[in-house]
């Protein structure tokens, strides 16, 4: 039995091949036999498409390592178990925007240079269980000229959907990352962190945020996290309660 590595699952029977989707992965074997050899999988033309897309997906997995560093400080605060897999799938979706090359030779770098490729980044959630829309009650956009979001002030108790935990403080922070997806490097600058008590009154938001020195693909992030302060002790809530979201991008 051979394991299929591809961004999709195959089920059913094709000629003398049976495809299985198991908790441990997607597998294929020939009828009446325990499986197929690695050589058979590599040489049988029926697997061409699977091998081609598997190779492309593998290249996205390598690129994902650098992407996960673009806002590591935020991703460490807000993510859940599917984070790494969803990053891989996101980058593969962008790779598919490359129409200059045939399947098997498409590149993420080309996909990110298309009009639609980078737009797929916008709205990506590090923690899908606490997306921005479930944390903040109004839509947030990012202004590249002013280097700030469209929210000028906030009433913590009214504007925030607080988590079920006993959190009594909210923390808001921005970041801009320059992702050089060709060199697999990134430079990230974080803003000041604004901390507000749940019962505080409406508060004006004053951000201090600079731009990276390098100019490739700039990505703007926001992180909204929570903590519980009792007397002099402050305890961050679990990362599953926090939000880290891509707001916008700027291609150079």
What average pLDDT score do residues 95-121 get? 94
Which of 6-15, 197-206, 231-240 is least confident? 6-15
Residue 180: the pLDDT is 97
The DSSP call for residue 214 is S
Q: What percent of the chain has pLDDT over 90?
A: 70
DSSP 110-165: HHTTSSSTGGGGTT-BS-TTS-HHHHBSS---EETTTTEES--EE-HHHHB---SS
Model confidence at 89, in pLDDT bands (50, 70, 90)?
very high
Split at pLDDT 50, 70, 90, the class of 206 is: very high
Does pLDDT of 2 surpass 70? no
What gap in Å lies between CA 236 and CA 118, rounded to an integer?
A: 33
Q: What is the pTM of this model?
A: 0.81
Is 241:179 a contact under the CB 8 Å cutoff? no
Query: Lowest mean pLDDT: which of 55-64, 127-136, 179-188?
Result: 55-64
Indicate whether 97 pLDDT > 90.
yes
CB contact at 8 A, 95 and 60: yes
CA distance 194 to 135: 16
**Mean pLDDT, the chain, whole residue set:** 88
Q: How far lies 217's CA from each of 28, 71, 149, 192, 199, in Å?
A: 40, 13, 19, 22, 39
Residue 230 is predicted with a pLDDT of: 83
- List, in sequence order, the alpha helices (H) in 44-128: 48-67, 72-75, 83-95, 108-111
Q: Give pLDDT tens digits for 116-154.
A: 999 999 999 999 999 999 999 999 999 999 999 999 999
How does pLDDT run across 10-38, given as a tens digit for each residue? 666 666 666 767 766 777 766 655 566 66
């Amino acid at each position: 039995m051979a394991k299929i590595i591809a961004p999709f699952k195959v089920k059913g029977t094709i000629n003398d091949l049976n495809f299985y989707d198991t908790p441990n992965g997607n597998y294929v074997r020939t009828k009446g036999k325990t499986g197929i050899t690695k050589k058979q999988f590599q040489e049988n033309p029926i697997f061409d498409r699977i091998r081609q897309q598997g190779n492309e997906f593998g290249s996205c997995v390598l690129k994902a390592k650098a992407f996960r560093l673009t806002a590591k400080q935020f991703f460490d605060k807000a993510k859940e178990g599917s984070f790494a897999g969803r990053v891989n799938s996101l980058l593969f979706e962008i790779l598919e925007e490359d129409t200059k090359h045939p399947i098997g030779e498409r590149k993420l770098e080309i996909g990110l240079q298309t009009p639609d490729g980078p737009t797929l980044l916008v709205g990506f959630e590090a923690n899908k269980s606490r997306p921005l829309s479930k944390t903040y009650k109004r839509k947030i956009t990012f202004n590249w000229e002013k280097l700030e979001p469209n929210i000028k002030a906030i009433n913590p108790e009214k504007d925030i959907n607080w988590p079920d935990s006993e959190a009594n403080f909210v923390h808001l922070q921005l970041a801009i990352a320059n992702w050089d997806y060709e060199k697999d490097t990134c430079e990230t600058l974080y803003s000041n962190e604004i901390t507000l008590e749940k019962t505080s009154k409406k508060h004006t938001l004053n951000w201090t945020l600079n731009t990276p020195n390098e100019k490739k693909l700039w990505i703007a992030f926001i992180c909204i996290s929570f903590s519980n302060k009792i007397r002099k002790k402050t305890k961050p809530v679990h990362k599953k309660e926090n939000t880290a979201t891509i707001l916008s991008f700027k291609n150079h």
